Structure 1
């Protein structure tokens, strides 16, 4: 079964909007685990507009499932944060400074030497590494040369076109996934996956190890409640 890692960035955004500690980010993470999530994901950014650096330390102390820290490894503060906390997994995302949300994967050919260095650094500390990539076979092949353990397919384009032609939308992801399988790379996926498009994606993509879902899950929780929503997402992956 594909694991569900809940991204709690939006919970932190809500907390930060009023100051204080409501909602309690650590409690939400623990509740997500209690409700069945198999992992917790955070994506700290330099302006700390949602996840704060201290949150990462606080969460590392209590999370019993898989802890995944996403972010831009070109920021030294992010690298130091990951090395200090040693999560189960670090996902390398090529965000630009001030970017609202992730919108593209790494060019694993152009930045191959740099990524090799970063992958080696994190793996030397016992941290599993995943590289955020677009669903392009050449980028998957380039990822192999970096030494990464996994790739994470950026799924916004799939989600955007799912309702108009889901077979066409899934095609490049299937090609990328089969290439990853052929090369022995682990496979994750994330971005705009939701209750409408997740089941089909999981059914079509071979060897999908993990999905990271935050924005849609938190939005659904406003209507269905957090516990029920986590269960609904898990059912899509069953």
Structure 2
């Protein structure tokens, strides 16, 4: 009898990625724990708080509505961040579609590949993971840097405002009246407070412009997307 033909060995399964990086873990909303995505209805799009942390559009709206229903604070638009507990404004949050786009690119690297191209999968995943991490690092670092500047100016503005209130409350003292001219002192303090307030507004506008530019970069990246085919070609 003719010898039986040897049975071809099954192709090795595609190598899985290692433990997700911190940037990948932070690509999910801290409230609902779902990943950010640029969905057509916009509910999963990331929104940037002034402290630099991200929440999805749906959770930001629901969080604010819940606070308004219970009226837990006098200022209904300002509440602690769910991540760092800093008090931030929850209205008028700029979008950050770049994070959703990068998460989508990362998802492509985890998609199942054809067995015939299994040997190419680790290389493509490794290269793509490196590029995604670099892009995420850039987004996170630039957002944190801008938010630190905003918090610093807000803190300084509050300090100047408190000084102005203290000086105004003691201006009626005769000793203070003898030491400084209260009118000129009050005007000077008021001008300083107004100047700091103006600088905060300018920096907040720069922050929003920064996020707008990131979204423009997203559009450019979408037009020239990473070369990761959904179904890899035979090799």
Q: TM-score, normalised by structure 2?
A: 0.21
Q: Please say which structure displays the higher CA radius of gyration.
A: 2
Q: Which structure has more strand as a fraction of its residues? A: 1
If each structure's helix is expressed as a fraction of its own residues, which one has the higher value? 2
Structure 1 length normalisation: TM-score? 0.21
Q: Which has the higher contact order (CA 8 A, sep 6+)?
A: 2
